[in-house]
Amino acid sequence: MHHHQPPKSAPRLSSASVWPALLATVALLAATSASAARYSMGGESRVMDSVLDSFLLASDQPIGDTSTGSFSDAIRSTTASTSVQVATGGIHVVADSFSRIVDGPTIVYSAATARGGFGDRFVLSAPGIAAGTQGTASFAFSISGGLDVTHLLNNYSGSLNAGGYAGWEAGFELLGPIDGVRWEGRQSISVDPWNTIAGGNASFGSFTFSMPVVFGAPMDLSFSLRVEARSGATSSIAGGWQAEARSLADLGHTAAWGGIQAVTDANGVPILGFTALSADTGFDYAQAYTAPVPEPSTIWMLVFGLAAMGARLLARRR
């Protein structure tokens, strides 16, 4: 895991700053402004220029949904799917796209996009520390998952082409009464038969920040995550050629609040026993978000699924 430590002084907020990952969820978050906790998400599965499945939801409670679209005929097939789960302190999103042709001339493609947003408010306190006391807190935000694009061609003469794109972008913001921190990150990979291009300004890992805080004063936390996966295949001639591509942006491992690592007073003396409670959700933001452990039945379903996939690949090779 990569660890990133920004400069000691937290980045100041600026009205000129652009936060692409959150723009799509602003309206949804505003729709639940009566509650401190805000959960929002959206997903879309697009196949051959047609949106076959989509969702857009907002709530004051944890939410989740999926979308799936597919198309097939005698010589081509493609699917796109998304999954989103937004919990208190964590966002899980997955986008998957697969395209295949077995003859030509033809073209096929699909795209999946998914996003989630979360916000809450908490108050920092500690035994023996009066409200209004100023100090400094260090805290973390993490992003983990994987990006993968693969393609398969049985003819490299130029008559076949297959490839795809997978990427994510995220935004994080914490506002206090006297200062604030904002972070934006993105990462992508694009693959075709001739090139592999990686881009972005961030990678998976834990990001740590520090900022001035005031005990007893509310702090507003919000973050969002968006993923996209696209794939396509083309053939310019007939003759039983095969081409396929798959793109996967799997951030089901999560974008998550990483907890408060340390708090000091104005003189740099450590303060112990602190809490950062949300009156709305009851979550203590002094602690890191922990993803729920899958039920045993879910684990066995995953094992059997992987075994079935392995058997299919072995049969194809034979």
The 3-class secondary structure across 205-219, one letter per residue, is EEEEEEEEEECCCEE
- Taking the C-alpha atoms of residue 228 and residue 314, their distance in angstroms, rounded to an integer, is 30
Give per-residue pLDDT as tens, 230-282.
999 999 888 878 999 999 999 998 899 999 999 999 999 999 999 999 999 99
183 residue type, one letter: W
Q: How many domains would you assign to the chain?
A: 1
pLDDT value of position 213 = 97
> Does residue 308 carry a pLDDT above 50?
no
Q: Nearest 5°: CA angle at 225, between 7 and 167?
A: 95
> Does residue 163 carry a pLDDT above 60?
yes
pLDDT value of position 75 = 93
Say if CB 130 and CB 212 are below 8 A apart.
no
Give per-residue pLDDT as tens, 193-230.
889 999 999 999 999 999 999 999 999 999 999 999 99
Q: Enter the pTM of the model.
A: 0.81
Say if CB 121 and CB 219 are below 8 A apart.
yes
Give per-residue pLDDT as tens, 68-87.
999 999 999 999 999 999 99
Listed in sequence order, the residues at least 6 apart from 202 whose beta carbon sits closer than 8 Å to its beta carbon are 4, 143, 170, 185, 186, 187
- Taking the C-alpha atoms of residue 186 and residue 249, their distance in angstroms, rounded to an integer, is 12
Alpha carbon of residue 199 to chain centroid = 16
pLDDT category of residue 293 using cuts at 50, 70 and 90: low
pLDDT category of residue 156 using cuts at 50, 70 and 90: low
- What kind and span of H or E run contains 23? helix 20-23
Give per-residue pLDDT as tens, 29-51.
433 344 689 999 999 999 998 99
